[in-house]
Amino acid sequence: MNAKIWNEGPVDHEEEFLGEKIFIPRGEYIEMPRSKAIKFMGTFQPFRRDGHVSSQGIKKLRLEEDAEARAAKYDQPFKFAASDGSKFRTKEGLRQYEETLTVQTGVMKNGRTKKP
Longest dimension (CA), the chain: 66
The Cα 30–Cα 15 span in angstroms is 13
pLDDT tens-place string over residues 44-96 = 766 666 666 555 667 788 888 888 888 888 899 999 998 888 999 989 888 88
Query: What is the pTM for the complete model shown?
Result: 0.59
Q: How many helices (H) and strands (E) does the chain have?
A: 3, 7
Among candidates 100, 77, 99, which has minimal Cα distance to 90?
77
Give the three-state DSSP class for 115. Answer: coil
Domain ranges of the chain: 2-45+59-65, 69-100
